[in-house]
């Protein structure tokens, strides 16, 4: 069995929490595990890759010992979800500099557009086992 990939996310970002729910709903084989970047587990996983969990500005995908960030992380996650989401991988043909510029613009405005929670999300009992920290 392949080791599950880990998605690190900003636990107080409303759009990030919705993204986690989106992934869970389209990942019936539970190939992804989750941790907020602000959690001790998230920080410990992010640190070896030079990612500061105390200042989350990107979604992080840890897969096969590598860390992917920004648009590449999002597209690599999409490729492993239920159809039609793997089709989004076609966007990998767009130069990464352009994809990441759009990602950074969105990330810089996410709190203003979607709000911010006071605390990190607490998963429901049904999906608690998919989280590395609660």
Helical ranges in the chain per DSSP H: 14-25, 40-46, 70-78, 96-114
**Inside any domain, residue 75:** yes
Is residue 132 one of the residues assigned to a domain?
no
Checking if the pLDDT of 126 tops 80, the result is no
- The answer to whether 49 touches 21, Cβ cutoff 8 Å, is no
The four Cα atoms 121, 33, 61, 75 give a dihedral, to 10 degrees, of: -90
pLDDT, the chain, mean: 89
Tell me which H or E stretch contains 89: none
Q: Answer whether residue 134 is part of any domain.
A: no
Structure confidence by residue, pLDDT tens digits, 65-88: 999 999 999 999 999 999 999 999
Domain count along the chain? 1
**Closest-CA residue to 72 (of 48, 47, 95):** 95
pLDDT at residue 120 in the model: 60
> Residue 113: which domain range?
5-127
What pLDDT, in 10s, does the model give residues 26-46?
998 899 999 999 999 999 999
Quote the pLDDT of residue 34: 95
Q: Residue 64 domain-assigned? A: yes
Q: Is residue 57 part of a domain?
A: yes
**43: in domain:** yes
The pLDDT, as a whole number, for residue 122 is 63
d(CA 94, CA 132): 33
pTM comes to 0.87
How far from chain centre, in Å, is Cα 116?
A: 16
């Amino acid at each position: 069995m392949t080791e599950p990939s880990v998605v690190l996310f900003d636990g107080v970002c409303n759009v990030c929490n919705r993204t986690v729910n989106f992934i869970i709903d389209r990942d019936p084989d539970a190939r992804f595990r989750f941790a907020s970047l602000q959690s001790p587990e998230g920080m410990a996983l992010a640190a070896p890759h030079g990612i500061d969990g105390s200042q989350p500005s990107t979604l992080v995908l840890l897969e096969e010992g590598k860390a992917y960030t920004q648009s590449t992380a999002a597209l690599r996650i999409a490729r492993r979800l239920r159809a039609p989401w793997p089709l989004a991988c076609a966007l990998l043909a767009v130069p990464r500099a352009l994809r990441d510029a759009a990602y950074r613009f969105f990330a810089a405005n996410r709190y203003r557009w979607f709000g911010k929670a006071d605390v990190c999300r607490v998963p429901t009992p049904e999906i608690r086992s998919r989280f590395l920290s609660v």
